[in-house]
Every structure is written in C-alpha cells, then in structure tokens.
Amino acid sequence: MKYSIFSLARAALSGHKNWQRTWRDATPKDRYDVVIIGGGGHGLATAWFLASEYGIKNVAVLEKGWIGSGNAGRNTTIIRSNYGLPGNTGFYELSMKLWERMEQDLNYNAMVSQRGVINLYHSDAQRDAYARRGNTMRINGIDAELLDLAAVKKMIPFLNFDNARFPVQGGLLQRRGGTARHDAVVWGYAHAASALGVDIIQNCEVTGFVRDANGKVTGVETSRGKIGAGKVGMAVAGSSSRVAAMAGLRLPIESHVLQAFVSEAIKPLIPGVMTFGAGHFYVSQSDKGGLVFGGDIDGYNSYAQRGNMPVMEDVCEGGMALMPMIGRVRLLRQWGGIMDMSMDGSPIIDRTPVDGLYLNAGWCYGGFKATPGSGFVFAHLLARDTPHKEAARFRLDRFRTGAMIDEKGQGAQPNLH
C-alpha cells in the first residue's frame, strides 16, 4: 500500500471502504537473522533500518501486547536536539535529521511539526548555562538562538513575566524542535518495515533466552513458541532489567513512573513547545487543542504505569506559575509510563557480556525524540557488530570505566536525572 494524493482521492471516491491494513500481523517463523524484542518505536525503527539501510530483511519484531502500547504511546511527543555533552549532542542531532526526512522515507504521515522548542530562563546563572548549551549546539552545527526578554514577549506574550519569584528573563530556542504524532511514528515504521519483509509479531511475550553450550544466545522462548535467532536485540525500555535478568544480567537501571497530562481542548494558544526553567514543566498544544504537558518523574521505583498526586500537584503548579490563566482549564486525562532511568541519565546502546544479545536501554524520559536515531544506530550495531560513531559513547561499561554522560550532573541517583 503506497500513500499519495491519488490513493487518498481513490479511497475518498469509494467512500473510504477500500483502505487496506498498513502492515502485516505476522505469525512467527522458526528462525530469523535478527529478532528484536519490543514493538515500540525503537524496536520497529531498528527493524526498518536493518531492512532498508543494512540489507537484513529476515527480521522479526516481537511485542508482548500490541505495537506502540508502551511508552511509544505514553509520551508528550516532543522532538529536539538541544543536548550539551559529547555523545548526546551528535546523537540527538542525527535523530533530528532523521525526523526531518522520516515521512518521505516511510511514506507515512507522522505529523512532524517543527514549530520550535523554547527553554525559558529565570536567572542570570540560568541564562549563562543556556548560552553555553546554545553555543555547544551551534559549534556542532545545530540551530540555537538565545532570546532576550523582548523577543520572548513578542513570541509568547501571555506568560506571567512579572512572577515575583521566577521572572522570565529570556529563553533558548531551537526552531527545528517541535512535536510528532507518536502513534503514527509506530505505525509508519511498522508500515515501511513490513513492506520490506519484516515480521511484526504481536501478543508474543519473551519468556526466556535459548543459549548454546558456550552461553551464546541462539533464540528466544516466547508465549508463541521457540524462535531461533542469529542475533537478539532488546528494545524494551521500562522493562530492560526484567528482560536482561532472563539472561542473567543486572543493569545500571531503575524503573520509574513518569506521568503525562492532557487538558480539555482550547483554541490555539501555545505556538510550539515551552519549558518552565524554574521548576520542571513542559507543554505543547495538540492539533485537537488539548494542552499536553508533564514534569518530573514520581521518584520511586515503579512498574505500575500510574503515578501519584504530589507530582500532579507539582506539575500543575509549574504550569500555573508560567501561565496563570490556564487555572480555569480542566484536566482531561492523565496517565503514566515506565522509564528506564539509567545511572547517568543517558542511554545504553551496546553489546552485552552475553554473546548474541544486544542492548538498547536506559532512555530515561527522553526516548521519544530519539526514536529514529536509536533505530538507526542500533541497526548499525546489530548489522556490523561495531557501534555507530554517534552512539560509540553509549557503552554499557561506562559506569565501570567512569566515562559517564551525566547531562544534569546528578550522579548515580536515577530518580534525580
């Protein structure tokens, strides 16, 4: 199925009754060259890049539930590449560039909307830190603009600029940042990967690894039987520790719950993505009109996919401090997702000590924006057995060697990243 203006016109003229399934719901074969565990954005992107860039088409993506039912469908859909540390800066820009060509690559409308991400600053020290980050971005060829108060007032005039405790002084703007439709990203990768022969297998939970006499992983045990594999890649952020434990591995990761929120729909208000710099609050407005926002993780280990009231209160306080007029907007929905919080706040894309098993994990709460980049570099690692140069620092052993990538400088306390 190829989508175009003509396919849309044909479908419209026939009353939209002839649309076909966009991807095949496959049944498992006995063996694949590569088996990817996890049918979220990262797993499906990995499969697509394996098939399209690296010529490995005998690939299966195994998903315990339905594709996109985990964090891929629970995030706040923000895309950006405004990172400051070596390792992160180049990787997230690689991902940003892939977002920019995703819809043409996949022949699927993912509603990628580059309407800007602005991080507001509220003190001289924060301005200096943002100026430094902006400079780092520009040195690396990424767009960044440091806006003063007058420029922010022109762009978003409705903020509470005179907040006595946290006056807005300006912001760091990345115009190429924005949002994308998260479900469409999952479906788009499924659509394109399936067309190249990738098997997407739903309701297929991995229950163990098949190992040979040398300990090499040669397949997986699943709720739908044994599946042989040349290589197995894990892309199950949120549950990485649980799946790795089946191979006898302990990871530098804790699972924490992050909540997200949507308000009732209002008329167009917020031009792009905004973040409040004096607390933790980020917001954008969906095409349906709802304000989509979030803040900190709850702070305690959880696999429950739901959070608690103190963080809801804290997030709403952040919103009110920035835009007091939203106090009369009602909250429509709220939910939680499970984050792979790593010990330095950065991801892990590496081989594991177990031969044949590859790890894509530790995305903390920044996994959505990384989706295409993560798929690309993980496919590279699986195909070539060497890390992609933009992901070479995301090593599993960096916690042992001391080569941490700690963007916030919080140390080995995952709930603070």
Does 352 bind other proteins (CB under 8 A)? Our answer is: no
415 binds other proteins (CB under 8 A): yes
| Distance of alpha carbon 277 from alpha carbon 21, whole angstroms | 44
| 95 is an interface residue for other proteins by CB under 8 A | no
Integer Cα distance of 289 and 268 in angstroms: 6
354 vs 71, 153, 250, 334, CA distance in Å? 26, 54, 12, 39
Q: How many residues at the interface with other proteins, by CB under 8 A?
A: 26
User: 287: which 2 tokens?
Assistant: 């095409």
316, HSE (Cβ side, Cα atoms, 13 Å): 16
Closest CA to 32 of 190, 186, 201: 201
Q: H/E element holding 385? A: none
Token reading at 300: 């305690």
Among 301, 331, 334, 355, binds other proteins (CB under 8 A): 301
Shortest Å, Cβ 393 to other proteins? 16
Of the candidate spans 48-56, 246-254, 317-325, 345-353, the one that interacts with other proteins by CB under 8 A turns out to be 246-254
61 binds other proteins (CB under 8 A): no
Residue 58 exposed, middle or buried by CB count within 10 Å (0-12, 13-18, 19+) = middle
Which of the stretches 31-39, 46-54, 211-219, 252-260 binds other proteins when contact is defined by CB under 8 A?
A: 252-260
Q: Which is nearer to other proteins, 140 or 308 (CB)?
A: 308
d(CA 119, CA 129): 11
Q: Give the integer Cα–Cα distance in Å for 200 and 61.
A: 5
Cβ nearer to other proteins, comparing 384 with 408: 408
- What binding mask, one character per residue, do residues 308-337 give for other proteins by CB under 8 A, x or -? xxx--x------------------------
Q: Which of 27, 208, 303, 384 binds other proteins (CB under 8 A)?
A: 303
Nearer to other proteins among residue 54 and residue 399 (C-beta): 399
Give the separation between CA 193 and CA 60, rounded to whole angstroms.
10
Of 51 and 237, nearer to other proteins (C-beta) is 237
202 or 305, CB closer to other proteins?
Answer: 305
Q: What gap in Å lies between CA 194 and CA 67, rounded to an integer?
A: 13
Distance CA 37, CA 236 (A): 7
State which of residues 116, 252, 347, 375 lies at the interface with other proteins (CB under 8 A). 252
Q: Does residue 154 interact with other proteins by CB under 8 A?
A: no
Query: Taking the complex as a whole, how short is the minimal distance between the CB of residue 145 and other proteins, in angstroms?
Result: 37
> What residue has token string 């100026």?
131
**What would the x/- binding string for other proteins be over residues 390 to 409, using CB under 8 A?**
---------xx---------
Tell me: does residue 205 bind other proteins (CB under 8 A). Answer: no
The least distance separating other proteins from the CB of residue 294, rounded to whole angstroms, comes to: 18
Do residues 177 and 82 lie in contact, with contact meaning Cβ atoms separated by under 8 Å? yes
**Which positions touch other proteins (CB under 8 A)?**
239, 241-242, 250-255, 299-304, 306, 308-310, 313, 343, 399-400, 412-413, 415
